[in-house]
Structure 1
Amino acid sequence: MSHRRSALISGAGIAGPALAYWLNEYGWQVTVVEAAPGIRPGGQTVDLRGAGRTVIERMGLMPAARAACVEQKGIAWVDASGRHRSEMPVDAFGGDGIVSEVEILRGDLASLLYSAADDHVEYLFGTRITALDDSGDEVTVTLSDGTVRTVDLVFGADGPHSAVRRSVFGPEEDVVHPVGGYTAWFTAPSTSMDTHGWYEMFQAPGGLVASIRPDTDPTRMKASLAFASEPLMYDRNDIDAQRSLIAERFAGTGWHAPQLAEAARTAEDFYLDALVQVRMDSWTSGRVALVGDAGYCPCPLTGMGTSLALVGAYVLAGELAAADGDHRRAFARYEQVLRPYVEQGQQMPGGGMKMFAPKSAFVIRVGQMLNRAITSRVLQPLARKMFFSHAENIELPDYSTAPEQQMSEQLRSAR
Structure 2
Amino acid sequence: MKKNFISKIFIGILLLFSWGCSSSDDTTDQHGHHQAIQIDTDIQQLAKPTNQQVIARTPTIRAEHGLKVFPVNVTGRIRYDSKNNTSVSTRVSGRIEHVGIKYNFQAVRKGQLLVMLYSPELVAAQRELLILKNTHDEKLIQSAIQKLQYLGMSHRQVQKVLRSKNVLYRVPVYSPANGYILEQTNSNAAAPSSPATMSANTDNGMGMNGSSTSPSTVSPPPSEATQSVLLREGQYVAAGQTLFNIYTNSDLIAEFALPPSLNTKIQKGKKILFQSIDQESKLYQGEIGLIQPTFNTSENFSLARVYLKSIKLPVGQLLRGTFAITEKQGYWLPKESVVSLGNKSVVFKKEGNVFQPIGIQTGIYTIDQIQILSNIQDWEIAKNASYLIDSEDFIAAEKIKNHE
User: Normalization by structure 2: what TM-score?
Assistant: 0.20
Larger-Rg structure: 2
Q: TM-score, with normalisation over the residues of structure 1?
A: 0.20
Which has the larger strand fraction? 2
